[in-house]
Amino acid sequence: DGRWSLQGMTALVTGGTRGIGHAVVEELAGFGAVVHTCSRKQEELNACLRDWSSKGFRVTGSVCDLSLREGRQNLMDTVSSAFHGNLNILINNVGTNKRKPTIDYTAEEFSFLMATNFESSYHLCQLAHHLLKSSGMGSVVFISSVAGVVAINSGTVYAASKGAMNQVTKNLACEWAKDNIRVNSVAPWYIRTSLVKELLDDEVFERNVISRTPLKRVGEPKEVSSLVAFLCLPASSYITGQIISVDGGMTVNGFY
Protein backbone atom coordinates (compact mmCIF):
# COMPACT_ATOMS: atom_id res chain seq x y z
CA ASP A 1 0.00 0.00 0.00
CA GLY A 2 1.69 3.17 -1.20
CA ARG A 3 -0.54 5.51 0.79
CA TRP A 4 2.13 6.10 3.47
CA SER A 5 5.19 6.28 1.21
CA LEU A 6 6.97 8.90 -0.88
CA GLN A 7 9.16 6.29 -2.57
CA GLY A 8 9.96 7.31 -6.14
CA MET A 9 8.88 10.91 -5.59
CA THR A 10 10.90 14.10 -5.99
CA ALA A 11 10.75 17.15 -3.73
CA LEU A 12 12.06 20.71 -3.54
CA VAL A 13 12.26 22.16 -0.02
CA THR A 14 13.42 25.78 0.08
CA GLY A 15 15.61 26.85 3.00
CA GLY A 16 16.53 23.39 4.31
CA THR A 17 19.69 24.14 6.29
CA ARG A 18 17.99 25.19 9.53
CA GLY A 19 14.75 25.11 11.47
CA ILE A 20 11.50 23.95 9.92
CA GLY A 21 12.96 23.45 6.42
CA HIS A 22 15.70 21.21 7.83
CA ALA A 23 13.13 19.05 9.60
CA VAL A 24 11.00 18.86 6.43
CA VAL A 25 13.97 17.69 4.34
CA GLU A 26 14.61 14.84 6.80
CA GLU A 27 10.93 13.93 7.09
CA LEU A 28 10.37 13.72 3.33
CA ALA A 29 13.64 11.87 2.73
CA GLY A 30 12.69 9.48 5.56
CA PHE A 31 9.48 8.65 3.68
CA GLY A 32 11.60 7.81 0.62
CA ALA A 33 11.52 11.00 -1.44
CA VAL A 34 14.55 12.32 -3.30
CA VAL A 35 14.98 15.91 -2.11
CA HIS A 36 16.65 19.07 -3.40
CA THR A 37 17.11 22.00 -1.05
CA CYS A 38 18.78 25.42 -1.01
CA SER A 39 20.04 28.24 1.17
CA ARG A 40 22.29 31.29 0.82
CA LYS A 41 25.32 29.83 2.64
CA GLN A 42 27.47 27.27 0.84
CA GLU A 43 29.36 26.00 3.90
CA GLU A 44 26.30 25.39 6.03
CA LEU A 45 24.61 23.70 3.08
CA ASN A 46 27.61 21.43 2.48
CA ALA A 47 27.68 20.41 6.14
CA CYS A 48 23.98 19.49 5.98
CA LEU A 49 24.45 17.53 2.75
CA ARG A 50 27.31 15.52 4.28
CA ASP A 51 25.22 14.77 7.36
CA TRP A 52 22.20 13.68 5.31
CA SER A 53 24.31 11.48 3.11
CA SER A 54 25.75 9.76 6.20
CA LYS A 55 22.18 9.14 7.41
CA GLY A 56 21.33 7.51 4.07
CA PHE A 57 19.01 10.31 2.89
CA ARG A 58 19.06 11.19 -0.81
CA VAL A 59 19.41 14.99 -0.77
CA THR A 60 21.10 17.45 -3.12
CA GLY A 61 21.44 21.19 -2.67
CA SER A 62 22.37 24.45 -4.32
CA VAL A 63 23.06 27.97 -3.16
CA CYS A 64 20.62 30.69 -4.16
CA ASP A 65 19.01 33.85 -2.85
CA LEU A 66 15.27 33.38 -3.25
CA SER A 67 14.52 37.04 -2.66
CA LEU A 68 15.87 37.57 -6.20
CA ARG A 69 14.05 36.57 -9.37
CA GLU A 70 17.23 35.25 -10.94
CA GLY A 71 17.93 33.08 -7.88
CA ARG A 72 14.52 31.46 -8.21
CA GLN A 73 14.93 30.89 -11.94
CA ASN A 74 18.34 29.26 -11.45
CA LEU A 75 17.02 27.05 -8.66
CA MET A 76 14.16 25.74 -10.78
CA ASP A 77 16.51 25.11 -13.74
CA THR A 78 18.71 23.03 -11.43
CA VAL A 79 15.71 21.12 -10.05
CA SER A 80 14.29 20.49 -13.50
CA SER A 81 17.49 18.94 -14.78
CA ALA A 82 18.20 17.00 -11.56
CA PHE A 83 14.68 15.48 -11.58
CA HIS A 84 14.32 15.14 -15.39
CA GLY A 85 11.40 17.56 -15.63
CA ASN A 86 9.28 15.95 -12.89
CA LEU A 87 8.56 17.38 -9.45
CA ASN A 88 6.01 15.82 -7.09
CA ILE A 89 6.48 18.11 -4.11
CA LEU A 90 7.20 21.83 -3.67
CA ILE A 91 7.64 23.10 -0.10
CA ASN A 92 7.74 26.91 0.02
CA ASN A 93 9.50 27.30 3.36
CA VAL A 94 11.88 30.28 3.04
CA GLY A 95 10.68 33.26 5.00
CA THR A 96 11.91 35.88 7.40
CA ASN A 97 10.69 38.69 9.61
CA LYS A 98 11.56 42.14 10.81
CA ARG A 99 9.44 43.33 13.71
CA LYS A 100 8.52 46.96 14.12
CA PRO A 101 5.52 49.23 14.37
CA THR A 102 3.63 49.55 11.07
CA ILE A 103 4.49 53.20 10.47
CA ASP A 104 8.25 52.53 10.82
CA TYR A 105 8.73 50.16 7.85
CA THR A 106 10.85 51.65 5.06
CA ALA A 107 10.00 50.99 1.43
CA GLU A 108 13.10 48.75 1.21
CA GLU A 109 12.05 46.68 4.23
CA PHE A 110 8.54 46.29 2.84
CA SER A 111 9.89 45.11 -0.53
CA PHE A 112 12.45 42.78 1.01
CA LEU A 113 9.90 41.04 3.27
CA MET A 114 7.30 40.71 0.52
CA ALA A 115 9.93 39.44 -1.95
CA THR A 116 11.36 36.87 0.46
CA ASN A 117 8.10 35.61 1.96
CA PHE A 118 5.42 36.05 -0.67
CA GLU A 119 6.76 36.86 -4.12
CA SER A 120 9.35 34.08 -3.93
CA SER A 121 6.77 31.42 -3.12
CA TYR A 122 4.36 32.73 -5.75
CA HIS A 123 7.06 32.81 -8.42
CA LEU A 124 8.34 29.33 -7.48
CA CYS A 125 4.80 28.03 -7.96
CA GLN A 126 4.71 29.61 -11.41
CA LEU A 127 8.08 28.12 -12.32
CA ALA A 128 7.24 24.68 -10.89
CA HIS A 129 3.77 24.28 -12.40
CA HIS A 130 4.74 22.34 -15.50
CA LEU A 131 7.13 20.13 -13.47
CA LEU A 132 4.40 19.38 -10.91
CA LYS A 133 1.92 18.69 -13.67
CA SER A 134 4.18 16.33 -15.57
CA SER A 135 4.87 14.31 -12.42
CA GLY A 136 1.22 13.20 -12.54
CA MET A 137 0.73 13.75 -8.79
CA GLY A 138 1.77 17.08 -7.29
CA SER A 139 1.61 18.61 -3.84
CA VAL A 140 2.51 22.16 -2.89
CA VAL A 141 2.81 23.14 0.77
CA PHE A 142 3.33 26.73 1.88
CA ILE A 143 4.88 27.33 5.27
CA SER A 144 2.69 30.21 6.32
CA SER A 145 2.10 31.41 9.88
CA VAL A 146 -0.68 31.95 12.39
CA ALA A 147 0.18 35.63 11.75
CA GLY A 148 -1.72 35.20 8.46
CA VAL A 149 -4.73 33.70 10.27
CA VAL A 150 -5.24 35.85 13.35
CA ALA A 151 -3.72 39.19 14.40
CA ILE A 152 -0.48 38.78 16.35
CA ASN A 153 2.12 41.42 17.13
CA SER A 154 4.85 39.99 14.91
CA GLY A 155 4.84 42.76 12.32
CA THR A 156 2.25 43.82 9.78
CA VAL A 157 4.30 43.22 6.63
CA TYR A 158 5.07 39.64 7.71
CA ALA A 159 1.40 39.08 8.49
CA ALA A 160 0.34 40.49 5.12
CA SER A 161 2.84 38.27 3.28
CA LYS A 162 1.45 35.19 5.03
CA GLY A 163 -2.16 36.26 4.52
CA ALA A 164 -1.47 36.62 0.81
CA MET A 165 0.09 33.15 0.81
CA ASN A 166 -3.03 31.71 2.44
CA GLN A 167 -5.27 33.16 -0.27
CA VAL A 168 -2.98 31.89 -3.05
CA THR A 169 -3.27 28.45 -1.41
CA LYS A 170 -7.03 28.49 -1.99
CA ASN A 171 -6.81 29.84 -5.53
CA LEU A 172 -4.16 27.39 -6.73
CA ALA A 173 -5.96 24.47 -5.07
CA CYS A 174 -8.93 25.21 -7.33
CA GLU A 175 -7.04 26.31 -10.45
CA TRP A 176 -4.61 23.37 -10.44
CA ALA A 177 -6.95 20.61 -9.24
CA LYS A 178 -7.42 19.58 -12.88
CA ASP A 179 -3.66 18.97 -13.10
CA ASN A 180 -3.81 16.70 -10.03
CA ILE A 181 -1.83 19.20 -7.98
CA ARG A 182 -2.98 19.71 -4.39
CA VAL A 183 -2.07 22.93 -2.59
CA ASN A 184 -2.16 23.40 1.18
CA SER A 185 -0.71 25.70 3.78
CA VAL A 186 0.72 24.99 7.23
CA ALA A 187 0.52 27.84 9.72
CA PRO A 188 2.79 27.50 12.75
CA TRP A 189 2.81 29.49 16.00
CA TYR A 190 6.18 29.79 17.81
CA ILE A 191 8.55 26.98 16.80
CA ARG A 192 12.04 26.77 18.29
CA THR A 193 14.34 27.75 15.36
CA SER A 194 17.12 30.23 14.60
CA LEU A 195 14.49 32.68 13.33
CA VAL A 196 12.97 33.23 16.76
CA LYS A 197 15.82 32.15 19.05
CA GLU A 198 16.56 35.65 20.30
CA LEU A 199 12.91 36.35 21.05
CA LEU A 200 12.44 33.09 22.96
CA ASP A 201 15.71 33.59 24.85
CA ASP A 202 13.95 36.54 26.49
CA GLU A 203 12.17 34.83 29.40
CA VAL A 204 9.40 37.39 29.68
CA PHE A 205 8.65 37.10 25.97
CA GLU A 206 8.63 33.30 26.08
CA ARG A 207 6.37 33.26 29.13
CA ASN A 208 3.91 35.53 27.34
CA VAL A 209 3.90 33.24 24.27
CA ILE A 210 3.35 30.15 26.42
CA SER A 211 0.57 31.81 28.41
CA ARG A 212 -1.47 32.13 25.18
CA THR A 213 -0.82 28.51 24.18
CA PRO A 214 -3.19 25.85 25.58
CA LEU A 215 -0.46 23.16 25.35
CA LYS A 216 1.74 25.49 27.46
CA ARG A 217 4.96 25.25 25.45
CA VAL A 218 6.43 26.34 22.10
CA GLY A 219 6.67 23.83 19.24
CA GLU A 220 9.58 21.94 17.72
CA PRO A 221 10.41 21.79 13.98
CA LYS A 222 9.53 18.08 13.83
CA GLU A 223 6.00 18.89 14.99
CA VAL A 224 5.58 20.94 11.81
CA SER A 225 7.39 18.61 9.41
CA SER A 226 5.11 15.69 10.30
CA LEU A 227 2.07 17.59 9.02
CA VAL A 228 3.96 18.79 5.95
CA ALA A 229 4.87 15.18 5.11
CA PHE A 230 1.27 14.05 5.62
CA LEU A 231 0.07 16.69 3.15
CA CYS A 232 2.49 15.29 0.56
CA LEU A 233 1.59 11.62 1.08
CA PRO A 234 -1.01 9.88 -1.08
CA ALA A 235 -2.82 9.33 2.26
CA SER A 236 -3.97 12.99 2.11
CA SER A 237 -5.19 12.75 -1.51
CA TYR A 238 -8.59 14.40 -0.80
CA ILE A 239 -7.17 17.37 1.14
CA THR A 240 -6.56 20.57 -0.83
CA GLY A 241 -6.91 24.32 -0.32
CA GLN A 242 -6.59 24.09 3.47
CA ILE A 243 -4.71 26.30 5.90
CA ILE A 244 -3.88 24.17 8.94
CA SER A 245 -2.46 25.71 12.10
CA VAL A 246 0.23 23.93 14.12
CA ASP A 247 -0.04 26.06 17.19
CA GLY A 248 -0.61 24.16 20.44
CA GLY A 249 -4.18 25.46 20.27
CA MET A 250 -3.27 29.16 20.20
CA THR A 251 -5.65 30.23 17.40
CA VAL A 252 -8.70 28.72 19.09
CA ASN A 253 -7.87 29.99 22.55
CA GLY A 254 -10.37 32.48 23.90
CA PHE A 255 -9.82 32.44 27.62
CA TYR A 256 -7.55 29.59 28.77
Binding site residues, ligand NDP, CB under 6 A = 15-21, 38-41, 44, 64-67, 93-96, 116, 143, 145, 188, 190-191, 193-196
Closest CB to ligand NDP among 116 and 135?
116
Minimum CB distance to ligand NDP, residue 12 (Å)? 12
What's the order of all strands across the beta sheet hosting 89-92?
A: 59-63, 34-39, 10-14, 89-92, 138-143, 181-188, 243-246
Closest CB to ligand NDP among 133 and 192?
192
Closest CB to ligand NDP among 18 and 98?
18
Minimum CB distance to ligand NDP, residue 239 (Å)? 20
Closest CB to ligand NDP among 80 and 116?
116
Dihedral (CA of 246, 247, 253, 256) sign = positive
- Cα 248 to chain centroid distance, Å, stands at 18
What angle do helix axes 69-82 and 120-135 make, rounded to 10 degrees?
20
Minimum CB distance to ligand NDP, residue 3 (Å)? 27
Minimum CB distance to ligand NDP, residue 213 (Å)? 12
Please report how many Cα atoms fall inside a 13 Å half-sphere around the Cα of residue 25, on the Cβ side.
31
Closest CB to ligand NDP among 33 and 247?
247
Active-site hit among 158, 190, 238, 256: 158
What angle do helix axes 19-30 and 221-232 make, rounded to 10 degrees?
50
How many residues comprise the chain? 256
Known catalytic residue at 158: yes
3 state SS of 7: coil
Minimum CB distance to ligand NDP, residue 203 (Å)? 17
Closest CB to ligand NDP among 40 and 98?
40
Minimum CB distance to ligand NDP, residue 254 (Å)? 21
Q: Rounded CA gap, 122 and 104, in Å?
A: 26
What's the Cα-to-Cα distance from 57 to each of 34, 157, 159, 230, 232, rounded to whole Å? 8, 36, 34, 18, 17
Q: Rounded CA gap, 26 and 178, in Å?
A: 30
Residue 98 backbone phi and psi in degrees, to 5:
-145, 110
Which residue numbers are catalytic? 158
